[in-house]
């Protein structure tokens, strides 16, 4: 059973490449969103297993979205991603209901797997 995930990021290049990569690694990317609103709709409709959410959504806050997803679609596991490294983010991650954080450059199916397995 392939992992089903949605990607939430406002960089089109990243979404395309990330989707292609994950697909090539056996993850089924069922939806792409660039805004909180789209992300929530997709999550509710498609009920993916995992949502990868960019912390730096320009208009809305990725951390906030993570919180909203967790409360509205608790079945979805949220993984926060960012162009910044963990060190740059300080204690932002600690309070979030997201299950973990992956720097974008290190994105891979196995990274997500290891978070899910925890």
Partner 1 sequence: MTAAGPTDTVGLSLSRLADEQAALRQIAVRVAEGAQAADVFVAVAEAVVRVFDIPTVGMLRYERDRTMKMVASIGAPSFPVGSRWSLEGTSVSAMIYETGLPARIEDFSGLPGDIAEEARRSGFESTLGVPIAVDGAVWGAVIARTVKERPFPADVEVRLARFTELVAAAIANAESQDSLRLLAEEQAALHRVAALVAHSALPAEVFAAVAEEVARLLDLPYIEMVRYKGDTGVVIGASGDHPSSVGSVWSLDSPSVVAAVRRSGRPERIDDYSDLPGEIAELARSAGFTSCVGAPIIVEGATWGAISAANTGPAPIADAAERRLAAFTDLVAAAISNLEAREELQALANEQAALRRLAMHVARGASSAEILSAVTEEAARVVGVEAVGLLRFEPDGVATLLAQSETPWDPPPVGTRIPLDGENILSQLFRTRQTIRVDDWTDSTGAVTAMADSLGIRSSVATPIIANGQLWGTMIAVTSESSPLPTETETRIAGFSELVGTAVSNAEFRDSLRRLADEQAALRRVALLVAEGAEPGQVFAAVAKEAADLADIPVVGVHRYEGDGTFTLVGVAGETKFRVGSRWSVPPDGSFARILATGRPARRDDYSDEPGLLGEAVREDQITATVDVPIIVDGKVWGFIVAAAKPGRPNPDDVEQRLAQFTELVATAVSNAATRAELIASRARIVAAGDEARRRIERNLHDGTQQRLIALGLDIQRVRATIPESQHDAHLGLERVEEDLQSVLEDLRELSRGLHPPLLSRRGLNSALRALVRDSPIPVELEIDLPERPSVSLETAVYYVVAEALTNAIRHSQASVLSVRIETDHAGEPFGVRLDGHGRGVNLHVTVADDGIGGADPSAGSGLMGLTDRVDALGGRFALDTPRGGGTRISIALPFEAR
Residues making contact with partner 1 (CB under 8 A):
10-11, 13-14, 16-18, 20-21, 24-25, 56, 58, 61, 83-85, 87-92, 104-105, 107-108
Residues in the chain: 118
Structure tokens belonging to residue 73: 């679609």
Query: Quick one: how far is CA 104 from the chain centroid?
Result: 10
Rank residues 24 and 75 by Cβ distance to partner 1 and give the closer one: 24
With b meaning 16 or more CB within 10 Å and e meaning fewer, what string describes 17-40?
Answer: ebbeebeeeebebbbbbbebeebb
Structure tokens belonging to residue 32: 């792409």
Q: Shortest distance, CB of residue 59 to partner 1, whole angstroms?
A: 13
Q: What are the φ and ψ backbone dihedral angles of 79, each rounded to 5 degrees?
A: -115, 125
Query: What one-character DSSP code corresponds to residue 96?
Result: -
């Amino acid at each position: 059973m392939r992992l089903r995930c949605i990607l939430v990021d406002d960089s089109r290049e990243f979404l395309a490449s990330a989707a292609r990569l994950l697909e090539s690694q056996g993850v089924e990317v069922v939806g792409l969103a660039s805004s909180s609103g789209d992300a929530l709709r997709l999550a509710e409709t498609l009920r993916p297993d995992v949502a990868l959410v960019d912390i730096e959504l320009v208009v809305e806050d990725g951390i906030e979205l993570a919180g909203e997803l967790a409360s509205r679609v608790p079945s979805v596991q949220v993984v926060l991603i960012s162009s910044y490294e963990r060190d740059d983010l300080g204690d932002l991650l600690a309070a979030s209901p997201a299950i973990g954080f992956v720097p974008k450059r290190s994105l891979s199916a196995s990274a997500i797997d290891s978070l899910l397995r925890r």
